[in-house]
Amino acid sequence: MPLDAEKSLSRRLLDELTGFLPDDGPVLVVRDAEGRYRPADTDRIDVEAWRECFEGLHEQTCDGWEPATAQRKGGYVIALQVGMDVEDTTTVFLVLEGYSQHTATANMGLIEMLLSQIQVISSLLLRTGQLERFLRFGGRIGRSSVPSQAG
């Protein structure tokens, strides 16, 4: 997939992670900086039905509570923010259908590993986007980018 620095972090993250999770695994939803929610699989979740839950978790992550979690009829939701050092902050939600707090806690090691992988992927997407913008605008790395002072 070619780099596209003009795409938002949420869009690039969703592009990379779609198909990454198994069909019967967690449902991934991202919230972009403008407040739009995008599921990785539109057939598996009705975002509007979960919006209130997502909004509450998003507010918790903005307050520094991460990962933020909530039990809701039909599943357990875990949220975390990525890209906080740029304007394009994205909140990632993992919806664990059929999970209770007990089953989520029992599997927390695996869940945390998945969240860490998502953070690493997000970091790499940010860096590749920054590198592409740098190169697109004629940036050079090293001494050759500094004008010569020789007379």
pLDDT band at 1 (very low <50, low <70, confident <90, very high): very low
Nearest to 114 by CA among 92, 98, 83: 92
Rg (CA), the chain: 18
For 73-127, how does the pLDDT look when each residue is reduced to its tens digit (9 = 90+)? Answer: 889 999 998 865 556 678 899 999 999 989 998 998 888 888 888 888 887 887 7
Out of 34-43, 47-56, 86-95, 111-120, least confident range: 86-95
Q: Which of 5, 44, 52, 51 has the alpha carbon at shortest distance from 28? A: 44
| Residue-level pLDDT at 58 | 92
3-class SS shares of the chain: helix, strand, coil, % to 5: 40, 20, 40
Provide the percentage of residues in the chain whose pLDDT is more than 90.
19
Residues 6+ apart with CB under 8 A from 37: 29, 30, 31, 47, 51, 54
- Given a cut of 70, whether residue 146 has pLDDT beyond it is no
